[in-house]
Amino acid sequence: MDMVMMDPDAICGADDKLLEDLGLCAKGDICALRSYCQGWNSSSTPSGSFTQTPESCRQERKRKLMAILQSGKKTRLKQNVAETSTKSKKPNNVVTGSSVQMKEKTRRIQLGWLHYNKKEDRYIHVRATNGGGTRNMEFPAAYTKDNVLQAAIGIFFENGQSKFGFANEMEFDLANFKMEKVDVLRDNDGIENPFTIQGYFQCYKLSKARIYLMSKDKTITEVTNSETEVNATSNDFPAWDDFLDEENQSTVGDSPQISSPIFNEPTSKSQLIGTSEERASFFTELEGKVRRSELADQEKARENERQKREAERREELRLSREARVFPEVEIDDPSHMLVNVRHISFGIVTRSFKKEWSVSAVYDWIGSLSAQPEHFSLTCAITKKLIFPDVKCETVQRTTLNMSEREIPVALSEDENEVLFYAGKSSHFEVTDDTVVTNTNSFDLEQVSSIPPQQLLSGDENDSSQSYDAEMSTYRKLQDIRQTELDKMHETCIALIDKSRIVEEVLNLYEDEALIRNRLSVSFVDAVATGSGPQREMFSLFWNSFLSENGIGYSQFTFRIHSHFPLERYPILGRIITHQFLLCGTFPIQFARASTSHCIFS
């Protein structure tokens, strides 16, 4: 094939078919060649350069490349530095040099708000719904305490006011992450340094810091100061040295006279102030102030003691609820389900329960999370219907329960609104007094006497000797029947009981129906005792623990047992009561009389 010479203009003007005939079969090669020719600077190209052969062009490019490589790395670096400095030059109207300010260093902190509660006599965290919450802020590292205070006041007191009042009516301070007031920072050597954001991070070795704005109503502080000033009676009247001030002295002849600033009349240089009546009035007023101060202090002490007792009572209630909470159900359990509750303080909380449990288990769990509120109810978030403790947990599946504070406890069930949900030491029910029982003798077993108790006979206006004799006859018959049954017991069973597992072991022991037809000899693990004492202690410990976990009531318990106690085990309780009466002549008086009559005669 003959060699054809074409200049860039001819190549740009040639069509695709001509270039294909010349050997450029691929469309990409045709486009690349045209692009190369269009960018060719004909003015800078030596004449006749296109008449060179391809081999000569390749040799020329190789030569130039070798020249660049031989120029050395140092030359290329200088060239790059020069190009960089040229590109980074700023326009003439831009200020450069020392006038350019470096960006100020900042630190991120979490800012919270604590407001003083007069009723509880402490600072309480303000929630986001009341304008508080936690704010993620970025402050300059050099910010001082005053800078942080002003910024925090501007954030939480928008337009100078908040839900608790105006900013100019408050006293403000800063607190660290431990909610302690912070004024200065101490380094490792104990040297005090002014507060700064950067110093706060370094002093407490923090990576994430939290700072609180503390606010307190000035009126509370003024009342406290006024109570303190009542005792400072020396400041109510000028000291005697003030009367001897040169400004208050005047000379009449040779006898110095003193002009009293209180009574505005000249007096002789005496230690007495005013007349006898004025002094008596002064001391009477002073005694009144002291007395009022003492009464105020006593009232404040009583209020503090009352609040302390109230807090202890509520904490005992919370601990009692917590002791009744069952462990969470494993996810692989067939009856596993999740219950969601919107808590007043903690938002939505979730826990697993069994479907056959009653909602009273949910009440105990929610009540154990915090001591406040003392009484509450759970309502369905969709239907707004009150959920009573006796319903099954499966009825609240796939829904959210709302927690609402109440003045009184919620009723046990919808059909028993007259029965309040007190259950002092029972399982899964709210209480008003949940004192943890530490004395195992708190459930005393009363000996059945041949004479009725006085409390059963009191209040009977129509008592007669005949009714009294009839009642005593009934008691004697009861004792005769008990003695007859005891005489039929010829064998004695021996039981070794572990006190730490008293409920489980006694229930297992009385699964044998034949046991109540025999006498029982009881002994405890790691204890040596004989006689009827261990029998009585076993029954006392059993009812103490069993009713604390399963009964309903405070001082009087009902037979209504929680849903986790199987129905087939109810007869075991009857055997225990029967055997206890036959062996010891006692009956658990903690059972409510109405409930006992219902179980026996209904």
Q: Which of 32-36, 317-321, 346-350, 415-419 has the lowest mean pLDDT?
A: 415-419
What are residue 358's DSSP bridge partners?
Answer: 392
Residue 486 contacts residue 582 (beta carbons within 8 Å) = yes
Mean pLDDT of 219-229: 59
If pLDDT is split at 50, 70 and 90, which confidence band does 548 have? confident
Mean pLDDT of 383-397: 87
Which pLDDT belongs to residue 255? 42
Domain ranges of the chain: 7-38, 106-217, 317-414, 478-601
Q: Is pLDDT of 430 > 60?
A: no
Question: Which has the closest alpha carbon to 510: 564, 569, 563?
Answer: 569
Question: Which has the closest alpha carbon to 552: 279, 280, 402, 363?
Answer: 363
Which pLDDT belongs to residue 3? 65
Q: Is pLDDT of 245 > 80?
A: no
Local structure of 265: helix, strand or coil: coil
First to last CA, the chain: 123
What proportion of the chain, given as a percentage, has pLDDT over 90? Answer: 6
Could you give the CA distance from residue 3 to residue 1 in angstroms, rounded to a whole number? 7
Could you give the CA distance from residue 577 to residue 580 in angstroms, rounded to a whole number? 5
Which pLDDT belongs to residue 95? 43
**Burial class of residue 160, CB neighbours in 10 A (0-12, 13-18, 19+):** exposed
Question: Which has the closest alpha carbon to 321: 243, 384, 373, 250?
Answer: 373
Which pLDDT belongs to residue 445? 52
Which pLDDT belongs to residue 557? 75
Mean pLDDT of 461-490: 75
Q: Which of 138-142, 366-370, 478-482, 550-554 has the lowest mean pLDDT?
A: 550-554
Q: Is pLDDT of 235 > 50?
A: no
Local structure of 32: helix, strand or coil: helix
pLDDT averaged over every residue in the chain? 75
Helices 570-584, 465-487: inter-axial angle, 10-degree rounding: 100
Mean pLDDT of 237-251: 43
Higher pLDDT, 446 or 262: 446
Backbone CA torsion sign across 549, 553, 559, 560: negative
Q: Which of 113-117, 207-211, 344-348, 352-356 has the lowest mean pLDDT?
A: 207-211
Q: Is pLDDT of 385 > 80?
A: yes
Q: Is pLDDT of 157 > 60?
A: yes
If pLDDT is split at 50, 70 and 90, which confidence band does 79 have? low
What are residue 107's DSSP bridge partners?
Answer: 139
Which pLDDT belongs to residue 52? 57
Which pLDDT belongs to residue 342? 92
Give 317-414's CATH code, choosing from 3.40.50.720, 3.40.50.150, 3.40.120.10, 3.10.20.90: 3.10.20.90
If pLDDT is split at 50, 70 and 90, which confidence band does 180 have? confident
CA 245 to centroid of chain Cα atoms: 61
Q: Under CATH, to which class is 478-601 assigned?
A: alpha beta
Which pLDDT belongs to residue 412? 76
Higher pLDDT, 17 or 112: 112
Q: Which of 20-34, 48-62, 363-377, 444-458 has the lowest mean pLDDT?
A: 444-458
Q: Which of 94-103, 382-391, 461-470, 541-550 has the lowest mean pLDDT?
A: 94-103
The C-alpha angle 396, 401, 404, rounded to 5 degrees, equals 140
Q: Do 317-414 and 106-217 have the same topology in CATH?
A: yes
Unique residue bearing structure tokens 């094939």: 1
Higher pLDDT, 13 or 376: 376
Unique residue bearing structure tokens 């100078």: 160
Backbone CA torsion sign across 235, 238, 240, 246: positive
Could you give the CA distance from residue 256 to residue 238 in angstroms, rounded to a whole number? 20
Which pLDDT belongs to residue 485? 86
Which pLDDT belongs to residue 297? 92
If pLDDT is split at 50, 70 and 90, which confidence band does 452 have? low
Which pLDDT belongs to residue 224? 56
If pLDDT is split at 50, 70 and 90, which confidence band does 84 have? low
Domain at 106-217: CATH code? 3.10.20
pLDDT digits (tens, 9 = 90+) for 114-130: 999 888 888 888 988 88
Print burial letters for 536-556: b (CB count within 10 Å at least 16), e (below 16): bbbbbbbbbbbbbbbbbbbeb
pTM of the model: 0.29
